[in-house]
A and B are shown apart, each in its own frame.
Chain A
């Protein structure tokens, strides 16, 4: 049984080494792949010297593309399970086992780590809270499962999902709420478990400046067209 942990990273040289070391200490024996998304700093070197395998994009392609590169690697190398976490130290490696357990046990195909299910995590800003609440309601009612943290990038899933995500159906810009709906409509089982998340040290986020507006628009459109598409089994 092969398990791969993928960590997408963009200009994370200062933190990626520590993240990789933490993961190695917490879950020794799992392979770690850092997807360096065209960083202009020493991210690749830092990750390698911490003991991770590194795949480097020739230029910056975005978070969604980076994780998909990881999925393609996992598929090509025959991994059975995959855990995905952020490279900025937000996600607590101690939760990897909790995240993997239901997938390994075959209880679910896709396990999402939620910061809102009990374990003490940082509190997001008010604007983000409102946006999150809206998408939480929308996603939960669409897929008929309670989802509290649809934007979470802390996930674990099995080979069937890996294979599914390497196809063109995977939404490469901001893959979260619409990805869950696509998964649900394709017949995969989705489960949420509590995880611990820390606030990002530099406060650098994918959702800054004007991006939240674009994010809202893109996500609504994407969810809408996902619903228009035919179900794929």
Chain B
């Protein structure tokens, strides 16, 4: 692996790692979403120093060039990420649905309490 490539990959993986950790620290990113990002940056870091692992992996999956393996893994990473988002969105949709239903029913309950207050409250001035 040329030195230029190594330096570039190191900088990128270090940046991703630091930014993700910082976002978690500032509570702008929840821990559950940081896992995939951190794993990827660590993996990149390792592959820079263990280039032979990347070559071995390339042979294993039958790809022609190590770069192909890298591209493939980044696509898989992105896919995993969007599946994670889809699952979360489905959950959130469900929660929003339940909350809005409860909100609607409670509003109706309050309205009916205002229209027909319980008797002990009616007697007070």
Q: Is the CB of A57 within 8 A of B104?
A: yes
Question: Chain B's interface: helix, strand, loop or mixed, by majority?
Answer: helix
Q: Is the CB of A73 within 8 A of B108?
A: yes
> Is A55 interfacial (CB-CB < 8 Å)?
yes
Residues of A within 8 A of B105 (CB): 55, 69, 72-73, 76
Stretch at the interface among A58-66, A90-98, A108-116, A223-231: A58-66
Residue of A nearest to B107 (CB): A56
Q: Is the CB of A58 within 8 A of B97?
A: no
CA distance A168 to B75 in the complex (A): 34
> Is B34 interfacial (CB-CB < 8 Å)?
no
Q: Is the CB of B100 within 8 A of A55?
A: no
Min CB distance A39 to B, Å, is: 12
Residues of B within 8 A of A55 (CB): 104-105, 107-108
Min CB distance B99 to A, Å, is: 9
CA distance A54 to B105 in the complex (A): 9
Residues of A within 8 A of B108 (CB): 53-56, 73
Q: Is the CB of B107 within 8 A of A61?
A: no
> Is A158 interfacial (CB-CB < 8 Å)?
no
> Is B68 interfacial (CB-CB < 8 Å)?
no
> Is A172 interfacial (CB-CB < 8 Å)?
yes
Residues of B within 8 A of A182 (CB): none
Q: Is the CB of B101 within 8 A of A69?
A: yes
Min CB distance B102 to A, Å, is: 8
Residue of A nearest to B101 (CB): A69
Q: Is the CB of B101 within 8 A of A68?
A: yes
CA distance A65 to B104 in the complex (A): 12
**1/0 contact trace for B81-123 toward A, CB 8 Å?**
0000000000000100100110111011000100000000000
CA distance A56 to B112 in the complex (A): 13
Min CB distance A4 to B, Å, is: 13
> A35, A53, A56, A172: which contacts B97 (Cβ < 8 A)?
A172
Min CB distance B22 to A, Å, is: 35
Residues of B within 8 A of A168 (CB): 94
A53-B108, A54-B108, A55-B108 known; A61-B103 Cβ under 8 A: no
Q: Could you show 20 A-B contacts with beta carbons less than 8 Å apart? A: A35-B104, A53-B108, A53-B112, A54-B108, A55-B104, A56-B108, A57-B101, A59-B100, A61-B97, A61-B100, A65-B97, A65-B100, A65-B101, A69-B101, A69-B105, A72-B101, A73-B105, A73-B108, A76-B105, A172-B97
Which residues of A approach B to under 8 Å, CB–CB?
35, 53-59, 61, 65, 68-69, 72-73, 76, 168, 172
Which residues of B approach A to under 8 Å, CB–CB?
94, 97, 100-101, 103-105, 107-108, 112
